[in-house]
Amino acid sequence: MSVYSKNYIKIYLWRFISILSGFLSLLIVIPYLSDNIEFYGIYAFCISLTLYLSYADIGFLNAGQKYAAEAYAKGNRKEEIEILGFTGAILLLMIVPFSIGMIYFSFNPDVLIKDLSNEGQEIAGNIFLILGLVLPIQIIVQRLVQSILIIRIKDYISLRVDVIFNLIKISSVFYFFRVGKYMIAEYYLFITIITIISSIVILMIIKKTEDYNFLELLKSIKLSKKQYLITKKLAYSSLFLTIGWVIYYELDLILIGRWFGPEDVAVYAIGFTFLNFLRTLWNSVFSPFAQRFNHFVGLNSDKDLKELIEKIIDYTLPLCVIITLVLVLASNKITIYWVGAFYKNSIIIMKILILGTGFAFITRPASFYFTAKTKYIFIYLMAIILPLTFFIGLVTLTPIYGIVGISISKSLAMFLGFVISMIGIFQFYNPLKIIKKWFVNLLILCVLISFAFPLILDVFFISKEKSTINLVMLMLFSGVIIIASYALMLLTKKQQRDDLKVIWAKFTKKRNITFKND
């Protein structure tokens, strides 16, 4: 088994544990935060502004990671550090205006959020101040950690540390949200500081395990004409895509906050929060392979790249379809058990947003391919068509359907992203043969799940009240259905059976060797 294969296994193991901790956060934190609909709406709106920091590198971080990964694959450590230092300088430069803006809004929160109560203004002002002064430190350190480990396909190092600190964040809820206490701004400050401490711990581990020269990296944090010329073309195309991505994917809560008010923000935020959980899930599935695309391009190995794309689509197509279907069918009861009947209007929003995520088996590997092979035409197509579709949907559907129209517009944009991805990746690899391979099997399975799963839910999940215990049982049951259905699908195909036999043989061989050594 290769070093990278072992790293993938470690990454998936710790990502699975990380997803469980994320689920615990959804399970425990959101019900406490959503008890006060106005304050939760304010919190969700303020946090949505952090999307700027997610893309503040204006495309240079993604471009830098690509070329730094190629340099790492070639053994050029100096070039890798210089590229990361340059992207760090760009990030620092772009964070300054955000910090100034957030500090201003901390004194004038009603400029961004309408119809605030006096207490709501105080909470919004405090959160804006945290966004302006503390969060930028978290982002800078986090990005540094992520870049170094992602390039080496060693994300598992940060994941296992993050899991421990995430449990601390989750546990803190019981302190900040007690009977008669709703300290949402203090809670956000605490979890931000904890995240910074977590990243510092990971940096110390990197220093020890990777013998990484951080002094050299600090010296390299400067604007460089050489690195600019290397990264600018891909960076600007990534920036163009980022602007489009922000318009169609990240502006929901901000628009609702301006057009409707904090209560509608809270209703939409439930579906949007669950969507972000799914994004984390799919990111856990696909992201370990992103830098391997860059490695293969750096080594000019199209054969290996094509095989990687085929494997990813082959194994994730049935998984995407099954997860999407099961979660849509369970979303009614998930919402009620999670946040209560008051948020029943969130159910249809959640269903629509979940449907849009079902195309990840094509859109994710295609996006890695477009970036690694610098397919600028498809990067620009995604950047133009997706936000344009979302904007047209907003204009035409929101006056008719209200905030539900926003979720419809988003999922329509996701579908068009799938179409563009199919066309773009078809030039290099034909995914239709994989779709044909699974079509009949998946169709039969989906029909069975669609009829049987809701009936089973109605029998075993009768309660219609908010309940953490019922939510846990429901999600565990849904998870069992997903795993069993996926395993059944894999066992229907000879190639998958053979792959599973090889994996099992290697696993048992390793266990036997360990046992003998003991």
| DSSP state at residue 298 | H
Region label for 413, one of left (φ > 0), alpha (ψ between -120 and 50) or beta (otherwise): alpha
CB-CB contact of 297 with 70 (8 Å): yes
What is the total residue count of the chain? Answer: 518
Are 141 and 87 members of one domain?
Answer: yes
| Exposure on the CB side of residue 147, measured as CA atoms within 13 A | 28
**Structural domain total, the chain:** 2
Q: Is residue 77 part of a domain?
A: yes
Side chain identity, residue 445: L
Residue 515 has a pLDDT of: 39
268 plus 346 within the same structural domain: yes
140 and 168 co-located in one domain: yes
Whether 148 and 279 map to the same domain: the answer is no
Give 108-132 pLDDT, tens digit per residue.
887 777 777 788 888 888 888 998 8
Whether residue 243 is contained in a domain is answered as no
- The conformational region for residue 300 under phi > 0 = left, psi -120 to 50 = alpha, else beta, is left
Q: Low-confidence residues of the chain, pLDDT below 50?
A: 1, 3, 511-518
Q: Among 231, 260, 276, which residue terminates a domain?
A: 231
- Give the CA angle between residues 120, 31, 410 to the nearest 5°: 80
Measured from the Cβ of residue 341, the count of other Cβ atoms closer than 10 Å reads 10
- pTM value? 0.65
Indicate whether 277 and 199 sit together in one domain: no
286 to 3, 156, 466: CA distances (angstroms): 18, 14, 33
Q: Which of 199, 231, 263 is the last residue of a domain?
A: 231
Give Cβ neighbours of residue 211 (< 8 Å, ≥ 6 apart).
none
Output the DSSP codes for 456-498: HHHHH----S--HHHHHHHHHHHHHHHHHHHHHHHHTSHHHHH
Examine the fold and report which residue of 168, 198, 231 is the final residue of a domain before the chain moves on. 231
Q: What is the amino acid identity at position 233?
A: K
> Distance between alpha carbon 349 and the CA centroid of its chain, in Å?
19
d(CA 342, CA 257) in angstroms, rounded, equals 19
DSSP 247: I
Q: Tens of pLDDT along 147-202?
A: 777 777 666 677 778 788 888 888 888 888 777 777 888 888 998 899 899 888 88
Tell whether 160 and 271 lie within a shared domain: no
CA 438 from chain centre, in angstroms, equals 26
Residue 241 belongs to some domain of the structure: no
pLDDT score of 324: 93
Residue 198 domain-assigned?
A: yes
Same domain, 195 and 125: yes
Are residues 348 and 223 both part of a single domain? no
Domain assignment present for 239: no
The predicted pLDDT at position 297 comes to 74
Same domain for 196 and 100: yes
Exposed (0-12), middle (13-18) or buried (19+): which is 280, by Cβ within 10 Å?
Answer: middle
Identify whether residues 301 and 441 lie together within a single domain: yes
Judge contact between 135 and 50, C-beta under 8 A.
Answer: yes
Residue reference for tokens 């390299």: 220
The residue behind tokens 């669950």 is 274
Kind plus residue range of the DSSP H or E element containing 58: none
List of residues 6+ apart from 446 with CB closer than 8 A: 321, 325
Is 177 found in the same domain as 107? yes
Range of the domain at 318: 251-518
8 Å CB contact between 58 and 235: yes
42: in domain: yes
- Can you give the pLDDT at residue 250? 62
Is position 237 within any domain? no
Tokens, residue 242: 């980022």
Residue 369: its H or E element: helix 360-372
Given this model, what pLDDT does residue 452 score?
A: 92
Does a structural domain hold residue 222? yes
Within this chain, do residues 452 and 313 fall inside the same structural domain, yes or no? yes
